[in-house]
Structure 1
Amino acid sequence: MLQRDADGATTPALKIRLGDYQAPTWRIAGVELVFDLDIASTEVYARLELESADATPAPLRLDGEGLELIELRLDGKRLGPADYHVDVHALQLSKLPARCVLESRVRIRPQANTALEGLYLSGSAERGFLLTQCEAQGFRHITYFLDRPDVLTRYSVELRADAARFPVLLAGGNAAGSGALVDGRHWARFDDPHPKPAYLFALVAGRLQCIEQPYTTAEGRAVTLKLWAEADAIAQCQYALGALQHAMRWDERVYGRNYDLDVFHVVATHDFNMGAMENKGLNIFNAKYLLADADATTDEGFRAVEAVVAHEYFHNWSGNRVTCRDWFQLSLKEGFTVFREQSFSADMHAHALKRIEDVATLRRAQFPEDAGPLAHPVRPAEYAEINNFYTATVY
């Protein structure tokens, strides 16, 4: 593949190599995010509590693409252009103290984001809603950050928006407050007590309806399960809600894994560039894999909804709480979670039938890939585009 330089010239894309891995030189002890949401223009405030991994701090490089930098502060002091370097891929600072607080304010444009990475508009400007997709490297389209899976931190997120246009505000974590603002706006805050990498961040804002169900884990934790969709689709979410409860109970019984937040959100959208995404506490699904109707959905369709709902829930432990060092370890979370999903489906239905289906999938998708020009190992030694890493072989 080719990529374009700033002057428009094309050059071969740089390859990322497994052997080049280096541990992060900076850690983020905590992050606070504030979003002033609007379809055309959204402002994002980020407060990063930074800690150097070494006694002598290395220069700091934060990933960031498609961002308009409005303001940058270090330990409360506003920085000028001479204090940092910013280009189309990153923000860089040097001579930092070993512990510091970096505050940034950037502007992004969700409606113009046709790459469907980061924050974008799902649906029309009049009726659609805002949502995010951050795996694998979408968070860098939201704010400047260490956008790599081996940097985990705790997120505190506040969403602000027009209450009529965006009556529902969701982010990963536990609800930590909400209220009204001036000029018909409102806010909602969410705190996630569990450290997570940037690719698991998520938010949703818009006109959505909800069905919900209380659930008590095997450890006695009271959880609320909430499935969200647009008004014309919410009636088709009931089957998925039941499948989610079956998956949670199965994971408790078979793996001893209990859910670890107060609420679990699942959102359906017709505009999504993946089948589904396991964002911590806020799964986002392509509607194809969440909606089911007894009058229109086949038996195979019902099993597919059940399997995908279970797969994304199982990621809460195999992928979210226990995550990857780098993207070369993608199969450790995806391959293992596929195995868990297949075991669950076999227990829910018939083991022999499930095995036949799995082998048929291998013969249809993975065997041709492995026998053709796109053949590659489960853990390739290098890649040029991470989104091409999501293959039948890796899964």
Structure 2
Amino acid sequence: MTKNSSSSTTVPGTVWLARGRHLGPDPEQDVRRNVIALKAAGVLDDYLDLDPVEAARSTPLYPREKSAGPGPSARRLFEARWRVTDGVMVRAQLTTYEPGGRRSDSEGITWVLAAEAEAAWDPRWPSPATMFWPDSDRVAWDHDVLPGVRLRTANHMPTDQNELRRHLRDVSRNTWYIHVVVHEAMTPDAKGQRPVSAFLPPSLRHQVIEHRATPAQAEIADFAMKRELNVRLPRGGAVVLPTQPRNRDHDAEHFTVHSVFLDGSEPAELLDLIEEFAELPRPLPEGAEQALTQLRQCWHLLTPDEELVHAQAMVVKYAEALDAMTKSSELYQAAAEAAQAALAEFSSGDGTPRPPVSDTAKAVSSPLNAIKKGLGRFRDPSRQDM
């Protein structure tokens, strides 16, 4: 597993990140059923279902930093390990969190998922989301933290101009996803209502949120996007929204498609642009660095080889600690003997103090100076008395 505790401003090329809300009654049970089934089918090498408090007390693979844990609001921590093309190992953690206040049915449970591979991430690999969450529309795990926004569907934009502008600001600020806006030149049939993201490779499919502007919203959506994000939405076309903070080299026109046919066919030009955008460096959104640090430094699901290496490292550490304690004990004993010898120097040898001496002699040969002198000889055996 890649060990890297340094801070980064962009998402590493080996990492897959997602965050969302589960609106169902028992999100952890949905995860358990899915990972049990996937392990039985041989899709997962293994998984762990951890209580965050117990996980914090156990010994992870790498030393823990104070900020690396999931925090007091965590409900449950799941870890899973699987292999993809050419035997590349992928490790992932899914953490569920309690809401800030009293939970309402519409608020749901927030979850954060961080996965890292032993090689550069390939969008054709399976989505880490479906390694934990069931790949079913009947389980509502795919809601964004912003109300009314969801993965795996086409989200229609607000009709009010002020709400639309606020919506654009919200979805583009500190987002964990790539956002695409598609304008419907005419109201599509059932095939055209299928989200464009459904045509994307598996692991990219759950990193894209699609927004739809109705035929009547052509001008209002274009105006709002020009004002808020400095991009244009062509009538009947689509645009990939820039990340915020915006990259100075971002070419909005390049990531704009002027014609998208919503007839159920594959929009190849738009898909190519989305995949190209996904390969660009993207800033780590708020909370992502903590999730990545937790994955790298608080990992518990070890392979047999890792368990052996970890056990050997612990044996070495314990041996070093025992050796240090032994040496410290010997040093303390030697120091005590030196102090006793120094004190004996100011006694008559039978334990009684020497008779008083002049003030000048006291200044030169006080007990404190003698102790210092004795200890000095202990620290530097080669030193000779003058």
**Structure with more contact order per residue of length (Cα contacts < 8 Å, sep ≥ 6):** 2
Higher helix residue share = 2
Higher CA-based Rg: 2
Higher strand residue share = 1
